[in-house]
Structure 1
Amino acid sequence: MVTTKKQRVVVGLSGGVDSAVSAWLLKAMGHEVVGIFMKNWEDDDDDEHCSSRQDFLDAASVADVIGIEIEHVNFAAEYKDRVFAEFLREYQAGRTPNPDVLCNAEIKFKAFLDHAMRLGAEKIATGHYARVRERDGGFQLLKGLDPLKDQSYFLHRLNQDQLGKTIFPVGELPKTEVRRLAAEIKLPNAKKKDSTGICFIGERPFRDFLNRYLSHAPGPIKDDRGRTLGQHVGLSFYTLGQRQGLGIGGVKDKKAARGGGEHAPWYVARKDLDTNTLVVVQGHEHPWLQYRSLVADDVAWVGGVAPPAGPLAAKTRYRQADAPCSLAAPDEQGFALEFPPEALQWAVTPGQSAVLYDGEVCLGGGVIASAELGATAGTTHRAPAEVAAR
């Protein structure tokens, strides 16, 4: 726990077990705890696709068991302006954004934080698996101690002011212990499954949802030899490394099946907006899916200034192991990363976040703007851009 001084702490109660145990831990420490449930989506919000109504009932039940007040706050307008609008712009531009990163920066640690301060809070708390450490007059964002649940990747855009006002009570606990505590204190949501995805999509098919908001035009799907395999339904509906939903599962070619034989699955390797072409390759280890460098912009540094260039570790997507890298040209606008041959990055995707680490310390990161294929990509086949242009 970050602080032992008794304070007024406003906790974001999502209806899930992590935030529930966070609130209980803070109350057990003697803090004055108030719960807030954030409603972030209203358009076609229904029980079939979005669980916000049930989530609030669960959060209210938790508050009742713990013995704290709970307030229902609607941030749907802020979410639509600051998160969803950017989400659509990025998809329309052919990139794949990460709305969880933007939601944390714009809603949970900005709109929610501002609201909590107006309620007289000294700190806010959430159920994220991360930690805050005060060091040399500043604040560091640390990984959660449970490596399977660490969520620092999604929090890398937090600044010093935000971290200084934030507590992550479960950041030092393994998820198994959080579940055990929830059962021990008889929380009503002790066995509730972890939420996945984002509420405005919920359980509905992702493509069907985007289809209502994005313009799209069908175009060719080509392989690494320039052969047309089928038609895509619109480039915005695909992301690099995607395997499912390509509609070409029956196309086999032993010679083209790099890294997996004739029955190797197909993966999206490139989206070319100029020619409206989707380029796919066969086999997870295909050279066109292996990247040796990237450039990121729209950066956010936890410490307020860019770290010095040199060796660090990075994640180019959530739930991957830290990869060794060399940081070059870091500043307040962008940076470049170079990965060694033994740590080429798979399907580096523009729009996603590249997050930097020095051991357990999350330094910040940026939005991937471009990436360069690894040295092993020199094959007898044309480059992905040449294939798309044919």
Structure 2
Amino acid sequence: MYVEPVMMKMQKLLRGLDANKDQSYFLYTLSHKQVGQSLFPVGKIEKPIVRAIAEDLGLITAKKKDSTGICFIGERKFKDFLARYLPAQPGNIRTVDDEIIGRHDGLMYHTLGQRKGLGIGGLKNAGDEAWYVVDKDVENNELIVAQGHDHPRLFSKGLIASQLHWVDREPIRESLRCTVKTRYRQQDIPCVIEPIDDETIRVIFDEPQSAVTPGQSAVFYLGEVCLGGGIIRRKNIKQR
């Protein structure tokens, strides 16, 4: 695992040295006791050096390609994997202006900010700008789309998160300036956390962010220390 623990009275979880392989985003639910009882032997080593060590030792993994998708599903398309276990529910694709312009195979196959694979094109009077997924209407099983990479519905000025877990501290009871990641391998987003109660926080971004997705994890950092995180419940839409 590309993370690093720090042994203190309350053990802290640090990012791994190799930023491209850092796994702290996925480990924020560990307690400080679990961190203290864990070993991360490659936390201070970059991936090329790990490969060199493996090659010197004659390990077959030395030349194994990096996984580019979800490692546990193997060499399969994600859509095929989901279709095997979840029944698809086709529905309408609707614009933010309330016009139905197509059909989707299932909301589960799409993510906010998605541009490719929507099957939308050649619409009369629609212009040449690409279409993006900006929301999912789960109740009506509709995919909501808008044109343009800078459409306001793509952006959020903040989020609400719950199911909180803090690695090395009690629930936050006052505002805290830090950074947040709302998806893996994302650049750190400067923000302020405001507690609503012990189980819910409001996060305010310094600058509006695109494709903030309910259901994903928001993970918080102070420098190299992973503070903890929670599940995004809703995003706060940027106003026009």
TM-score (norm 1): 0.58
Secondary structure, in 3 states, of the residue corresponding to 1:189?
Answer: helix
- What displacement does 1:149 show? 1.7
Report the Cα distance in structure 1 between the residues aligned to 2:237 and 2:28, rounded to whole angstroms. Answer: 26
Counterpart of 2:28 in structure 1 is 156
Counterpart of 1:269 in structure 2 is 134
On the 8 A contact 1:300/1:332 being kept in 2, the answer is no
- What displacement does 1:295 show? 0.6
Of the candidates 70, 79, 98, which is equivalent to residue 198 of structure 1? 70
Q: Matched residues, percent identical? A: 48
Q: Which has the larger radius of gyration?
A: 1
Q: How many residues align?
A: 239
Are 1:248 and 2:113 counterparts? no
Q: What is the identity, as a one-letter code, of the residue corresponding to 1:220?
A: N
Of the candidates 174, 183, 202, which is equivalent to residue 317 of structure 1? 183
Deviations 1:48-107 (A, max 9, x none): xxxxxxxxxxxxxxxxxxxxxxxxxxxxxxxxxxxxxxxxxxxxxxxxxxxxxxxxxxxx
Counterpart of 2:192 in structure 1 is 326
Structure 2: segments with no counterpart, 5+ residues = none
On the 8 A contact 1:159/1:304 being kept in 2, the answer is no
Counterpart of 2:2 in structure 1 is 129
- What displacement does 1:231 show? 0.7
- What displacement does 1:199 show? 5.1
Q: Higher helix share goes to which structure? A: 1
Of the candidates 362, 373, 376, which is equivalent to residue 237 of structure 2? 373
Report the Cα distance in structure 2 between the residues aligned to 1:188 and 1:254, rounded to whole angstroms. Answer: 53
Of the candidates 262, 279, 288, which is equivalent to residue 144 of structure 2? 279
Cα distance change, pair 276–188 in 1 and its aligned pair in 2 (3 A): closer
Q: What is the identity, as a one-letter code, of the residue corresponding to 1:292?
A: K
Aligned CA RMSD, in angstroms, stands at: 2.0
On the 8 A contact 1:235/1:278 being kept in 2, the answer is yes
Deviations 1:330-361 (A, max 9, x none): 65412110012xx2221111110000001110
Are 1:143 and 2:8 counterparts? no
TM-score (norm 2): 0.91
Q: What is the identity, as a one-letter code, of the residue corresponding to 1:309?
A: S
- What displacement does 1:283 show? 2.5
Instruction: Considering Cα pairs closer than 8 Å and 6+ residues apart, tell me whether 1 or 2 has the greater RCO.
Output: 2
- What displacement does 1:291 show? 0.5
Report the Cα distance in structure 1 between the residues aligned to 2:90 and 2:156, rounded to whole angstroms. Answer: 28
- What displacement does 1:150 show? 1.5
Q: What is the identity, as a one-letter code, of the residue corresponding to 1:326?
A: V
Secondary structure, in 3 states, of the residue corresponding to 1:190?
Answer: helix
Report the Cα distance in structure 1 between the residues aligned to 2:76 and 2:221, rounded to whole angstroms. Answer: 35
1:1-390 equivalence runs, <5 A: 128-135=1-8, 137-198=9-70, 201-251=73-123, 262=128, 264-307=129-172, 308-329=174-195, 332-340=198-206, 343-375=207-239, 378=240
- What displacement does 1:196 show? 3.6
